[in-house]
Structure 1
Amino acid sequence: MTVITSHGIEGLADAMTVMVSAFDPQFGEAWTAAQCTGVLAMPGAHLLIARNAAPVGFALLRTVIDEAELMLLAVAPEARGQGIGRALLQHSIDTATTSNATSYFLEVRSDNPAIDFYERFGLRQVGVRRDYYRAGNGVRRDALTYRLSLR
């Protein structure tokens, strides 16, 4: 059974355990511990950790005034297909709603298979950042901005 709990900086080691296995290094999307620490030090930051016996996923989000942004969401490869990503996304949306956010945003690489997943949750594309991501081989990919109204 997967349990999701909310953490601050004390959950960073668990998130980093998932981070190293969940993000393909060719895309350069994984964050460093220092980057995560910087976000977690900001007001309105939330780190959600999904655990079975060990950490299997995490979501990092931040709410500022009435807007929430999902900065990272990852599930360990061996735990995929079990509904953990869905539970983390729903929990992050619930957290944003509880924090009085009226809009929920995220950015995703234009060729990321998770796009269908986000769209099934009702998120809709509202923007494009051209050539935002640079792969290890130098290939650039667009970042797509998605929004969900929480009203």
Structure 2
Amino acid sequence: MKDDLDRIMHVMDAAFDPAWGEAWNRRQVEGSLVLPTTFYRLLNSEGNEALPGEKPAAFAMVRAAPGEEELLLIAVHPTSRRRGLGGLLVELLATDAKARGSERLFLEMRENNTARTLYESHGFIPIGRRKDYYKAADGTRLDAITYARTL
């Protein structure tokens, strides 16, 4: 697990813009990975499962509950963007969730997140809003949008 934690943090540290404070720290990721309801995927730059010891280009983590799963994190290393890895991860997560018996996949993101296009193109629809949920480094407040996809 330590190797996978290091590999996830390699992508996380490069992928998330610090202005939004959305990246998880090592302790948060580690705490989630030890839970039996947390699942993740690591992909290399060609879109294949990253082999042990190989630096991944992308990762995603979900948390499962009876009948549903929540996409907690998804990230693509900046050097591997625009190759379809984000969409591939979304589809792999949906397939995995369905195989585990889930009927819906959820996610939540800030309203100005450019990943919105990716999620909507993969069947996610907005189902809710949390007013002023996110706070940017400059103090700006933004709503969180909850999305769902039926599997």
The sequence identity of aligned pairs, in percent, is: 38
Tell me the alpha carbon deviations over residues 22-72 of structure 1, each in whole angstroms, 9 at most, x when there is no partner: 000000000011111121122221111011362111001011111100000
Q: Which runs of 5+ in 2 are unaligned?
A: 46-53
**Aligned residue pair count:** 143
Partners in 1 of 2:36 and 2:4 — Cα distance?
Answer: 16
Secondary structure class of the residue paired with 1:148: strand
- Name whichever structure is richer in strand by fraction: 1
| 2:49 matches 1:48 | no
| 2:142 matches 1:132 | no
* CA positional deviation for 1:91: 0.8
Residue of structure 1 in register with 2:107 after alignment: 106
Show structure 1 runs of 4+ deviating over 3 A. none
Partners in 2 of 1:113 and 1:141 — Cα distance?
Answer: 14
1:39 to 28, 32, 37: 32
Secondary structure class of the residue paired with 2:70: strand
Partners in 2 of 1:10 and 1:54 — Cα distance?
Answer: 10
Partners in 1 of 2:125 and 2:141 — Cα distance?
Answer: 23
* CA positional deviation for 1:98: 1.0
TM-score normalised to the size of structure 1? 0.90
Letter in 2 for 1:40: L
Secondary structure class of the residue paired with 1:27: coil
Which residues of 2 match residues 32-111 of structure 1 at below 5 A? Answer: 32-52=25-45, 54-111=55-112
* CA positional deviation for 1:12: 1.2
Partners in 2 of 1:23 and 1:77 — Cα distance?
Answer: 9
* CA positional deviation for 1:136: 0.8
* CA positional deviation for 1:9: 5.8
Secondary structure class of the residue paired with 1:37: helix
| 2:139 matches 1:141 | no
Partners in 2 of 1:11 and 1:89 — Cα distance?
Answer: 19
TM-score normalised to the size of structure 2? 0.90
| 2:12 matches 1:12 | no
* CA positional deviation for 1:108: 1.0
